[in-house]
Amino acid sequence: MWQWLYKLGSPRYFYDMTTVFLPWLRGVTYFLLIVGLVWGLGFAPPDYQMKDNYRIIYIHVPTALGAMWVYAMMAAMAAMHMIWNLKLADMVAKSCAWVGASYCAVGLVTGSFWGKPTWGVYWIWDAKLTAMLILFFIYIGVIALRSAFDSETSGSKAASVLTLVGVVNLPIIYYAAQWWNTLHQPPSDLGGSATGANPPEIWIPVFFTGFGLIGLVFLLVILRTRNEILWRERRAQWVQDLVQGEPRRA
Amino acid sequence: MSRYSLGVFGSLRATFTRELLILWRNPGDIVNPLMFFVIAVSLFPLGGDSDPAYLSGIAAGVVWVTALLAVMLSMESLFRGDYEDGSLEQLLLSPQPLYFHLLAKVAGHWLLSGLPLVLLSPLLALMLALPQDAYAPLMIGLLLGTPTLTLIGAIGMALTVGLGRGGLLLAVLVLPLSIPVLVFGAGMVQTALAGLPYTGLVALLGALLVLALSLAPLAIGAALRISIN
């Protein structure tokens, strides 16, 4: 077990291992996404109240949840990087920042597209929306801090510290936003009973796109991490062999 | 040898008085954030509307946001000079716990940069036509909130002090993290204006301060070690 973990911490082992199961991950992710999207957007019946507008949940809910979940993953990686000085954990954290920020942006944009027909406005200062926006700011901060350093090592350590500070702060921000929101306006009903009253034809595709978008998180993080590995280990012999020699199965 | 056996409290007092002395001898570092505070607040009636009814509605938010920005702008003087003349390295190398050194340093900095903002806030509240009932919650809030903001700002400053051109980056890092203090602080004034009890929010701001006091020095220390490298 420990030996396996130790091996997993080696960028080269990670690269070789992901080369093996990347095609599977890719296949499963694409399958889930295509089935979920075609079913959800094309065949699921329209909602009795929101008509076709509700279809945006197939993208909106998984990306919004994913954005928070990716932050947790990034924080775990940052902690591993700070505690055990694990280079690979930092490379994964760096990839997580970009993927998380993208998911956050997609969640915010799809949310505003959904808000216009349902609430009548693109944006309201609802607790959930505000917390999501601040999460996006924090992702941007982590990315900006890392890229501001010339030295890779300092930049990655600094980004890890900021990520961990953010982890302490995010729950507080969330509760602050909720408190603040209840002072000014009642919380908006975000779609009401999403799964309860709706027929299974509506919510089953959510599982497909949901797991598909989770798969996409892993796919994007792994692909970015592989690039990062190649870049950081560009002086290593095995990377030289990989680039100049016989191309391996990718 | 006596200078080397200062003990923890002696050395903390030394750090604290040194911080005060440095700020005192560079009056610009104390006065400029204050002037920024006053000028930025006075821009709102000019850019918005000078109608007292409108002003009193936005007063709490304006004073709090501007105080937050002023604290952030004053951060430069916390570590920049020490970083450039090498005394920050000496601080990190000192045998006494860094945690308490940083607390002493931040406390000294707050005393000459945060506290004046608190003392000045009623004047600005007056100019923004804030009802007098709201002065107490505004000042209590700022009194509890500005140390927290200073500690959060110090984390950001410690992360960016090695970069040389940290100004805008500091804002990007620190402002999102300061939001809870802003929400509770400005909310406290609004709650008082609505005639509701605000003691719960005093407790919340106090809790945030305690949390920042206990955790922020750890993050500041880790960040400084990275920046010194």
Least Cα separation, residue A151 to chain B (angstroms): 10
Tell whether the model's pLDDT for residue A23 goes beyond 60: yes
Please report residues of A whose CB lies closer than 8 A to that of B175.
137
Asked whether this complex has an ipTM greater than 0.95, the answer is no
The angle formed by the CA atoms of residues B20, B21 and B24, to the nearest 5 degrees, is 85
Residue from B79, B170, B173, B182 to probe the interface with A (highest A Cβ count within 10 Å): B173
Q: In which band, very low, low, confident or very high, does the pLDDT at A30 lie, cut at 50, 70 and 90?
A: very high
Q: Express each pLDDT in B150-177 by its tens digit.
A: 999 999 999 999 887 767 899 999 999 9
Complete DSSP assignment for A74-92: HHHHHHHHHHH--HHHHHH
Complete DSSP assignment for A181-230: HHHHSPPP-SSSSSSSSS-HHHHHHHHHHHHHHHHHHHHHHHHHHHHHHH
Q: Express each pLDDT in B191-219 by its tens digit.
A: 998 888 899 999 999 999 999 999 999 99
CA gap B119, B122 in Å, rounded: 7
Residue A16, in any domain of the structure:
no
- Looking at chain A, list the stretches that DSSP marks H as alpha helix, in order from N- to C-terminal side: 2-8, 11-37, 57-84, 87-119, 127-148, 152-184, 200-232, 237-244
Query: What is the structure's pLDDT at A193?
Result: 47
Residue A111, in any domain of the structure:
yes
Q: Smallest Cβ distance to A144: which of B172, B211, B222? A: B172
Residue A198, in any domain of the structure:
no
Q: What is the mean pLDDT of residues A86-112?
A: 93
Query: What is the structure's pLDDT at A187?
Result: 44
Residue from A129, A161, A163, A173 to probe the interface with B (highest B Cβ count within 10 Å): A161
Q: In which band, very low, low, confident or very high, does the pLDDT at A50 lie, cut at 50, 70 and 90?
A: low
CA gap A211, A9 in Å, rounded: 26
Burial (CB count within 10 angstroms: exposed 0-12, middle 13-18, buried 19+), residue A29: buried
Q: What total number of domains does chain A contain?
A: 1
Range of A160's domain?
22-188+203-232
* Cβ of residue B190 closer than 8 Å to a chain A Cβ: yes
**Can you read off the two tokens belonging to residue A112?**
């505003």
Residue A4, in any domain of the structure:
no
Give every residue of chain B whose pLDDT is below 70, as ranges: 1-6, 166
Query: Does residue A128 come out as left (phi exceeding 0), alpha (psi in the -120 to 50 range) or beta?
Result: alpha
Query: What is the structure's pLDDT at B3?
Result: 55
Interchain contact, B179 vs A148, CB within 8 Å: no
Residue A246, in any domain of the structure:
no
Q: At CB < 8 Å, which residues of chain A contact B? A: 82, 134, 137-138, 140-141, 144-145, 148-149, 151, 153-154, 157-158, 161-162, 164-166, 168-169, 172-173, 175-177, 179-180, 183
**Can you read off the two tokens belonging to residue A188?**
């908006």
Residue A11, in any domain of the structure:
no
Interchain contact, B177 vs A145, CB within 8 Å: no
Residue from B149, B170, B177 to probe the interface with A (highest A Cβ count within 10 Å): B177
Interchain contact, B176 vs A180, CB within 8 Å: no
* Cβ of residue B187 closer than 8 Å to a chain A Cβ: yes
Residue A241, in any domain of the structure:
no
**b/e sequence A133-157, b meaning 16+ C-beta within 10 Å:** ebbbbbbbbbbbbbebbeeeebbbb
Q: Give the DSSP H/E element, type plus range, for residue B66.
A: helix B52-74
Contact B162, B229 (CB under 8 A): yes
Residue A161, in any domain of the structure:
yes
